Chains A and B, each alone.
Chain A
């Protein structure tokens, strides 16, 4: 009977490689023996042992070993066999060289691995950002259409529905086109907690544009008007409906109204949060020409390029501007490919990341090149001897190339593995909604190919240099020189490389320290309120169940009262918006008595409906006047200082009358002025803001804010319970502490600064190593000269000066160039994050100091060695 295989078999890949690649005469013997030994061996390290044995077997008994039998003619056979034998010989010789100098080999492979890992990690991330997140059929044909209005400062606005129709009907560029509007819906079911869902309203051909087919049922393409329909996203179907196979045709309740489920669709990569899809009703009164709120996508016909599409759209625009001067004047359509659109969104971040990755790769290459050149000049003698013995120069160059290719090949594979790991870690730390679709990204073979290619290129480029430098010397000169120091070209080349490394390290350090200082400053920024111990959560009152101001404000009052009773809660409030909660609303404002300005001159202010405890709960500061009171019957408002100075002379606003645009005919009396509250940490531009009492406006989305004496995050369950107690059918979502919201805003600069810091540290280490290598080999090559100097009576100072002179020039030049390059990066960053602007000099000082210390460390050992060099011994040896 068969004894049966052991539970855990030997590595499958190794067995496969052996059975494919071993020479047939020994295959069964070797493989069988290995399996026999595998069965006999036990315990840890068995797999490692098997791999080692397998590789050794392939090395000794590989298929190519005997390349004597071929079906082709004898001449070809010999040539082919010769070539392969030479390559194998070269490889074996290279491996032997590598083994002979383990320190050098480890150093080169280590440095290359680090550099390649870093750059391949970033390639993975960038690749994931740009392409993997767009898993659509023929994604290159999908385009995004926006509208711009130069005079009103809209450079990429959404489109309005009549314009969308005009763009589609007036051109022949689209195979299909659709629009989308984001919204939210409350989903209620009898036996389950109500849920707030991200929803999207889309026109009929939306799924056709993206080439997405429903998993079950059908989508909106053949929908006839009438009735309420919805599509569910797969995740919702699984989660909420237990993957019910009979879901199609069932009805679900959204915002209190019954909808028939038409089908189930897979998650959409561009809108990954959307779980319910609703059809757009073309007859809706909201779809006016001036209402620009729809995201438009189109699938271009295969024969239409983006430029052609742009021209056709502009023709339509010219006609529209002529026919509808009132409502279309000044607008123009903007079309970009979906790919380019995403690249544009991510461009600043990606640019920085790619720049850093490229710098590190260059540093790596420069470093390794320096090492290889040093070795090549050391091996100049060996090369000269071989040339003298009749080795063709071509052969020597090839030999050195093989050596560097071998090293870079190993480093390439290692680097890819490490880089993959790094990318996974980095992506896990990024906020998932930084760029939609990012979380779903996977690594693919392209990155592997690119990485290996990159490393081979590194090997070729930098193997070439020393190969030529090493073999190009006149034999006689080299043999006679007897180790008096590498060629001038080689030395200059290496000094240049060290300067380049220092420059890049300096650039990276500058960028990293700037960002770190900025993040630190942003963390300590005065926000205009107290972000600590503040819990915020969102609830949207369903218009069907809470109709009118009365029922909503009484619901809000009951809720606040209930929440205030929760142990640990110090104060609580309800507002339509909160700082850092996202989704701001602006309304036109004007002084009472002023003439109504034309639309383009309208002043806008952030609008927020708040209850009486809002300011106290947030910890906002009153500047003048008073806050809202219980008996505020008449229309009142509180404004911030920015609005006060914008509209009123000397900012004296208390007691003035203010019109807030839209449906309010009566002016509001300003009762108080509060200090500005920052709504984003990145810009210090003050935003005018108007606050009105919650019970004076009709508003349905609400933020519940509670300040606690306990850690705010612990309160979430108690607050949820409180809301359920007041209204069991009311869903709650987006519960976060204010600190979490701020951290989220800062997560990208923080991540970037950490990555750059990591890069910067790698860079200074590399640069210091490079410098050390330069000094050490210089010293070794010049030791004869130095010994003679010393023998002739040169004092210690002269010797030290000699060493310093070798290294200081490239270091100083590198720091200077790096400072200039860093200045450019700094300007890019400062344009995005205002807090950076005044940090330039401190960042420069920090970076210069760090780099100086690192490079100074590289000088220590070579200098000591030069001082201690005993001339008598050295000269006697020669």
Chain B
């Protein structure tokens, strides 16, 4: 069992949020619109690949689209194993936040 990187976390959360519509562009948009962070597609795919090799996500191909030059979208879905990993990682963060003010990260007086 290995810990999740930050980007992996963000990517997995985005896939969870998007449900059946999670493919590269949508994941990128989701992260950008919620966190304001511009991530390159390459970085996203690298995280997705890593998650897939740890069996946190699985993927399937959609129909070929003309706007994509006849290429298919690859849709991703978080596996049960993946959900566990996200939960574990978030739990760790919550535990660590305990006793700190959530916004300023100052100790609660």
Contact = CB atoms under 8 A, between A and B. Distances in A.
Interface of A: 2-4, 23, 25-26, 28-37, 39, 52-53, 56-61
A34 B41 CA distance: 8
Contacts of A30: 24, 41-42, 45
A33 B25 contact: yes
Given A52-B40, A53-B40, A32 B46 contact: no
Given A29-B73, A30-B24, A37-B25, A60 B67 contact: no
B66 interface: yes
B45 A60 contact: yes
A67 to B, nearest CB: 14
B74 interface: yes
Contacts of B45: 26, 29-30, 57, 60-61
Nearest to B62: A32
Interface in B41-86: 41-43, 45-46, 48-49, 61, 65-69, 71-74
Nearest to B47: A60
A53 B38 CA distance: 11
Closest 4 CB pairs of A and B: A57-B42, A32-B71, A32-B68, A33-B24
B24 A60 contact: no
A28 B73 CA distance: 8
10 contacts: A32-B68, A32-B72, A33-B25, A35-B67, A35-B69, A35-B71, A56-B42, A58-B42, A60-B40, A60-B42
Contacts of B72: 28, 32
A33 B23 contact: yes
B42 A61 contact: yes
Interface string B8-42: 00000000000000011100100000000000111
Contacts of A36: 25, 65, 67-68
Contacts of A61: 42, 45-46, 49
A340 B99 CA distance: 85
Nearest to A27: B71
B40 A57 contact: yes
Contacts of A32: 24, 65, 68-69, 71-73
Contacts, number: 76
Q: Which of B23, B40, B48, B66 has the most CB of A within 10 A?
A: B40
Q: Is the interface of A mostly helix, strand, loop or mixed?
A: helix
Given A33-B41, A53-B42, A60-B40, 18 more contacts: A3-B67, A23-B49, A25-B49, A28-B74, A29-B23, A29-B24, A29-B71, A30-B24, A31-B68, A31-B69, A32-B69, A32-B71, A33-B25, A35-B69, A37-B25, A56-B41, A56-B43, A60-B46
A22 B54 CA distance: 21
B16 to A, nearest CB: 19
A4 B24 CA distance: 22
A16 to B, nearest CB: 12
B11 to A, nearest CB: 13
Contact of A28 (B40, B42, B66, B71): B71
Contacts of A33: 23-25, 28, 41, 68, 73
Contacts of B61: 28
Interface of B: 23-25, 28, 40-43, 45-46, 48-49, 61, 65-69, 71-74
A33 B69 CA distance: 10
A49 to B, nearest CB: 10
Contacts of B68: 31-33, 35-36
A32 B28 CA distance: 14
A30 B69 CA distance: 12
B67 A26 contact: no
B67 to A, nearest CB: 5
Contacts of A3: 66-67
Contacts of A60: 40, 42-43, 45-46
A28 B65 CA distance: 11
Contacts of B46: 60-61
Contacts of B73: 29, 32-33
B5 to A, nearest CB: 13
A229 to B, nearest CB: 60
A30 B40 CA distance: 10
Given A29-B74, A33-B23, A59 B42 contact: yes
Contacts of A52: 40
A57 to B, nearest CB: 3
Contacts of B43: 56, 60
A119 B102 CA distance: 59
Contact of A53 (B41, B48, B69): B41
Nearest to B24: A33
B66 A2 contact: yes
Contacts of B41: 30, 33-34, 37, 53, 56-57
Contacts of B66: 2-4
Contacts of A59: 42
Nearest to A5: B69
A58 B42 CA distance: 7
B66 to A, nearest CB: 5
A6 to B, nearest CB: 9
B13 to A, nearest CB: 19
Contacts of B25: 33, 36-37
Q: Which of B24, B48, B61, B73 has the most CB of A within 10 A?
A: B24
Contacts of A28: 61, 71-72, 74
A3 B23 CA distance: 21
B109 to A, nearest CB: 35
A36 B28 CA distance: 12
Nearest to A4: B66
Q: Which of A25, A29, A37 has the most CB of B within 10 A?
A: A29
A39 B67 contact: yes
A26 B43 CA distance: 12
Contacts of A58: 42
Nearest to B61: A28
B37 to A, nearest CB: 14
Contacts of A34: 41
A32 B42 CA distance: 12
A137 to B, nearest CB: 45
A30 B67 CA distance: 13
Contacts of B74: 26, 28-29
Q: Which of B42, B65, B67, B72 has the most CB of A within 10 A?
A: B42
Contacts of A26: 45, 48-49, 74
A4 to B, nearest CB: 8
B85 to A, nearest CB: 21
Q: Which of B41, B48, B61, B68 has the most CB of A within 10 A?
A: B41
Nearest to B75: A29
A33 B26 CA distance: 9
Contacts of B65: 32, 36
Nearest to B46: A60
A35 B61 CA distance: 17
B68 to A, nearest CB: 4
Contacts of A53: 40-42
Nearest to A3: B66
Contacts of B67: 3, 35-36, 39
Contacts of A2: 66
A61 B49 CA distance: 9
A4 B67 CA distance: 8
A56 B49 contact: no
Contacts of B40: 52-53, 56-57, 60
A56 B67 CA distance: 22
Q: Which of B24, B45, B49, B65 has the most CB of A within 10 A?
A: B45
A39 B65 CA distance: 13
B40 to A, nearest CB: 4
Nearest to B49: A26
